[in-house]
Every structure is written in C-alpha cells, then in structure tokens.
Amino acid sequence: MASAWYAQHRRLKTGERFGALDRHLLIPEPFPMALYFPDTFTTVTEEDIDRLQLPQWDQTVLWLNATNEFARNPADGFFEHVPESILSAARRLEEGKTAGRPMVLMHVLDDAAYNHKRNWRRADALAVARALEKEGCEVSLLNPEQGKFVGGYQDMMAKMLAADAFIGGDTGPSHLFAQLCPDKPQVAVYPDMTEDQANYRQLQEAQALPLPWNSLPKKRKLAHITLVCARATTWSGFWIKQRKYQRFYPADVLRALLPQLKPGR
C-alpha cells in the first residue's frame, strides 16, 4: 500500500500512470491495483513490459523515499474505486451496528511471519478490547484466532468501511485502512524502528534525505504507539529462563483513540 500511495501521489503531480506486478509469494489472494486505483495503475504482464520496453520506476528503499515525500507533501491517499459488492456489504454491517456505540476494528498482530519484533501479545490486545467495551464501544477482531482471518480482502474492506476506528500493527491491514478510510481515527502500534533506521542511514545520507526510514502508514491523522521490550522469567528445574517479548499498555491505546471518537458516533 505504500507503493500505491507513492504512485498515486506521483500521478497527481505528473499525470503518469503505472503498471504493477503482484509477486507476493506469502499472500496467495491477489490484490488488483488496477481495480482499486484505476486512474493510477493499469494492468500489465511481464510480456507487456518486455514488448513495450516500459521504463521501470526504481523506488530504491520504498519506505525511506515515501516517508520523505509524505513529509514534503502530507496528503492522504485514497481508493479511486471500491466495487459495489464491497459497498453493499459495508452497508449491511452498518445496519447491524448498535446506535450510540462506536465500532472499533482491530487486527491483533500476533502472527507476523517474519520480523517477529512486530508481534503483539494477544493478551494486551484483548485487554484493550475489554477496556473499550467498558467505554461504550463495540470491538470486532479481524483475526479472532492467531493466524486466522475471517474472509478475504473484500470482507476486510467492508468491515473497515463500516467501522468507526481501527487499531493495528506493522502489517498490511493498517496500511489498507489508512488509504481506504483516511478520515477515520487510527492507532498504529509499532515496534521501535531504531535498528531499521540505522540499517538505511547510509542510503539516507547518500540521498541527502532529512528523515530516516519509517514504515508507518502515510496518513495525516494517525496515532502512533511504540511497543516496549519486556522480559519474562520462568524456572525450568534448576535453571532460570528469560524470554524477551514486545508489549504495549491498554491505557496508552485508549488515551490515543477515545478523544477521536465522537459521542454517539
């Protein structure tokens, strides 16, 4: 989605359009850019690229360049087309909401396949859900169980359109919500990025870019909470074992989100 934001931003400035190849090996379900962003993307194949000798846009380190471009021109991205099937599903979900109780959608990031420092403790997320419910909100989880989403992309998008706010981590649903619902409250619970920023500092300096690498969604109204490293100590026979994990505090999430939720929304 960072690539979608970056390409859309460039198209609005220059009038250029782009082709995109979906080569994500870990996610089998396609996400057709030309369907959701028809003004920015067109459908191409690798044969088209070779036959037409299309120039390639080298984005180098995408998050580094997108972060600095967003700082220069902090414009929210947006979906250029949403299929009627998604809109009608969202309307049905809206009709099922309880009046006066904001619906908060949450993606519990406890199943990151790589870069495990992004992972939350599910217990922390469930504590947030309970606290929000006490404050009069309804809470819906995209993944009620670890690694198990309910439905595909279009189901997810319908839930996002029907929701009043979103809580997510350093992964796809957070970026999808940011671009699909740029005007809705959103909390991003992310790992510390110091190590990643150090890895790209040499490239940042070579390109004379003022801001370091940053993988947060490119959205103006975004609340950001940083995961903290904690340790768990357990006994195993005569041995003491220590385990590191990432956690956050429900009170921080509520402080970031509740002021943005209008009463009776």
Q: Can you read off the two tokens belonging to residue 189?
A: 């619970």
- What percentage of residues in the chain have a pLDDT greater than 70? 91
pLDDT at 46: 83
The most confident of the ranges 47-56, 183-192, 239-248 is 183-192
Other C-beta atoms closer than 10 Å to the C-beta of 197 total: 16
Mean pLDDT across the chain: 90
Q: pLDDT class for 70, splitting at 50, 70, 90?
A: very high
> CA angle, 244 as apex, 242 and 250 as ends, to 5°?
125
Residue with tokens 């319908």: 158
Determine contact, residues 52/61, Cβ cutoff 8 Å.
no
Q: What is the pLDDT of residues 77-110, one digit of tens each?
A: 999 999 999 999 999 999 999 999 999 999 999 8
pLDDT in the model for residue 233: 64
Selection from 78, 73, 104 nearest residue 187 by Cα? 104
pLDDT at position 265 is 46
The pTM for the full model equals 0.90
Question: What was the pLDDT predicted at 232?
Answer: 65
- At 227 the pLDDT is 95
Q: What is the largest CA-CA distance in the chain?
A: 68
CA distances from 83 to 105, 160, 248 (A): 21, 14, 36
Residue 125 reports pLDDT greater than 80: yes
